[in-house]
């Protein structure tokens, strides 16, 4: 999701415009949208959800590929038996017919796999876009509210890039930079982190030692 951030917004992040007086008043603030986006807890949560979804898709994809490989091996075996002169003509014809049916199954399986791969890419792209758009909207809402409260007329994104991948903002003294404040407000509602497995194991060991004592 991070690599897509440069495509999220145009060069300027317009939060609140008070006509042409914005520049005259000098009430211009800045926000590093990339930093806010990358470090927002919901972004990390969305990344984890996408990885889980991708893992499920990959698991199903592997099952389909394994079945396809198995069918190909069975086809080769039937084909060999169909040409085995030690078998009766009737048996060879049966093997040949089974090989033809298996080949059709293989082709159908290949079509199904190709369709699944296309659908999987579309599903992940759509989920990624929905999550990205939702997060950016939340960030903009927060920036908008904070900018209005502080009396800012305009907020610029210091991380924005032009179509030529060059920085749009060439200089900022960061006098009215809102990045850390916005990030702090967004992450204020972050759920408590789940203790790591290593920490849980260490706690259990400590408990056992206490019990022995």
Is the four-CA dihedral 63, 48, 159, 29 of positive or negative sign? positive
Pair 176, 30: CB distance under 8 Å:
yes
Overall pTM > 0.85: no
As a whole number of angstroms, the longest Cα–Cα distance in the chain is 97
Rounded to an integer, what distance in angstroms lies between the CA atom of residue 187 and that of residue 35? Answer: 13
Instruction: Answer positive or negative: Cα dihedral of 138, 140, 141, 145.
Output: positive
Q: Are 46 and 124 in contact (CB under 8 A)?
A: no
CA end-to-end distance (rounded Å), the chain: 50
Per-position pLDDT tens, the chain of length 213: 555 454 444 443 444 343 444 443 448 999 999 999 999 999 999 999 999 999 999 999 999 999 999 999 999 999 888 888 888 888 888 989 999 999 999 999 999 999 999 999 999 999 999 999 999 999 999 999 999 999 999 999 999 998 888 998 888 888 899 999 999 999 998 888 744 444 444 455 555 555 555
């Amino acid at each position: 999701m991070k690599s897509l951030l440069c495509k999220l917004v145009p060069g300027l992040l317009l939060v609140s415009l008070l006509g042409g007086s914005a520049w005259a008043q000098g009430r211009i603030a800045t926000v590093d949208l990339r930093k806010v986006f990358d470090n927002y807890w919901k972004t990390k949560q969305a990344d984890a959800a996408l990885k889980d979804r991708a893992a499920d898709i990959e698991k199903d994809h592997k099952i389909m590929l394994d079945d396809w490989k198995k069918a190909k091996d069975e086809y080769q075996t039937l084909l060999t038996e169909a040409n085995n002169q030690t078998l009766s003509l009737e048996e060879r014809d049966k093997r040949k017919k089974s090989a033809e049916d298996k080949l059709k199954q293989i082709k159908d399986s290949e079509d199904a796999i190709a369709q699944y791969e296309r659908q999987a890419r579309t599903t992940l792209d759509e989920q990624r876009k929905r999550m990205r758009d939702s997060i950016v909207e939340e960030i903009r809402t927060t920036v908008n509210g904070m900018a209005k409260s502080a009396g800012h007329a305009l907020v610029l994104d210091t991380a924005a890039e032009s179509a030529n991948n060059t920085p749009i903002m060439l200089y900022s003294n960061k006098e009215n930079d809102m990045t850390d404040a916005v990030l702090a407000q967004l992450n204020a509602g972050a759920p408590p982190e789940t203790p790591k497995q290593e920490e849980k194991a260490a706690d259990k060991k400590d408990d056992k030692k206490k019990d022995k004592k």
